[in-house]
Amino acid sequence: MENRKFSRLQRIVVKVGSSSLTYKTGKLNIGQIEALVRQLSDLHNQGLDVLLVTSGAVGAGMGKLGIKQRPRTMPEKQAAAAVGQGLLLHMYEKIFAEYGLVVGQVLLTREDFADRKRFLNARNTLHTMLSMQIIPVINENDTVAVDEIKLGDNDNLAAMVAALVDADILMLLSDIDGLYSDKPGQPGARIIHEIHEINNEVEALAGGVGSAVGTGGMATKIQAARIAMHSGLVTIIARAAEPNIIRRLVAGEPAGTVFWPSIKLVNKKRWIAFSATVCGQIYIDEGAARALREKGKSLLPSGITGVEGSFEMGNTVSVIAPDGKEIARGIVNYASAEIQQIMGKQTSEITRVLGYKDYDEIIHRDNLALE
């Protein structure tokens, strides 16, 4: 295969999985960490912006505490993460310092993406760090995150970070070579080098969770790739232990599986589609579905057939077509109780029903992200 041709590579997000940073004992794999840091430092010295999304806090904590099996309860995971996060950062800080580089720790939860102000603050912070030549070392804040605010895995965190900072390429490095046509090791199984669209067939090739020390797997990497593709990013899944893998991928070597970007959503619509918390559902008729999909129209009350959930003006909701599939997400101009009163009615009737009319649209097209 010929080398891949990337139109632009200035800002790179590299995610490294737990299995690539720790041994089966739970202890940190210092040789692997050193190899990755050396490559990232070299790219930074070439003038590229580099962000590292790292797993391994729970695994490192397990090793320090002498725990053999991954903790099952949330408090146990958080206790292990509290111990391991310090160890992990210290290791990165020490090795990057050998190359004269400064790192800064950034711990995030879903709330940092779901709230628009916190989202923009995180974006500004990361951009400022990059402008000051600081390499952000990013992880989910496992010590305080609970199920309701957890991102769940660092594949999706990395994709959301990459979209947040307008990166050019996202590398998901773990103990997996890439996406295979069948279960690796099976007769005829081959690595798929290029993907231009994530369809049902591609999703069916993804398995369950990954290793005993991680939470991700191929399924989460496919989810992450979808976020990145709609954000205009190139995504590559590759094996972290391959010699000089980061340098080789940047050079365009056809290793791993590359997901080429699709239509790029503008930043606000990206946030609506992938970061904002969905607070409810709005069900629409076929006419409204066509207007949204084919004509780029706003959602008006006349096309709404049902409302589910309790939400306020300014919340993000899921828009459901008659076939039961989500076709869009958007920020509503009215609360759920108000929409229930005016759904199915013409815009001219809003004032008569509610006694006021702040907006004609339930969701303006500028605040609507189609699937």
Question: pLDDT tens, 191-231?
Answer: 889 998 888 888 888 764 343 333 347 888 888 888 888 88
Residue 150 predicted with pLDDT over 50: no
Q: Domain containing 206: what range?
A: 11-269
In this structure, are 143 and 53 located in the same domain? Answer: yes
Give a yes or no: residue 213 inside a domain: yes
Q: What is the pLDDT of residues 154-172, one digit of tens each?
A: 888 899 899 889 899 999 9
In this structure, are 305 and 178 located in the same domain? Answer: no
Which residues are documented as binding site for substrate? 55, 142, 154
Number of domains forming the structure of the chain = 2
pLDDT of residue 292: 92
Mean pLDDT to the nearest integer, 234-250: 93
Confidence of residue 116 (pLDDT cuts 50, 70, 90): confident
* Boundary-marking domain end, from 269, 289, 311: 269
Give a yes or no: residue 349 inside a domain: yes
pLDDT of residue 237: 95
Which residues are documented as binding site? 15, 55, 142, 154, 174-175, 215-221
Predicted TM-score of the model (pTM) = 0.77
* Boundary-marking domain end, from 247, 269, 291: 269
In this structure, are 203 and 324 located in the same domain? Answer: no
Which residues are documented as binding site for ATP? 15, 174-175, 215-221
210: domain CATH number is 3.40.1160.10
In the chain, the percentage of residues whose pLDDT exceeds 90 is 44
348: domain CATH number is 2.30.130.10
Q: What is the pLDDT of residues 87-97, one digit of tens each?
A: 889 999 999 99
Asked if 207 and 285 count as a contact pair (C-beta separation under 8 A), the reply is no
In this structure, are 260 and 322 located in the same domain? Answer: no
Give a yes or no: residue 304 inside a domain: yes
Give a yes or no: residue 44 inside a domain: yes
pLDDT of residue 277: 81
In this structure, are 347 and 243 located in the same domain? Answer: no
In this structure, are 329 and 298 located in the same domain? Answer: yes
Give a yes or no: residue 155 inside a domain: yes
* Boundary-marking domain end, from 242, 269, 296: 269
In this structure, are 25 and 156 located in the same domain? Answer: yes
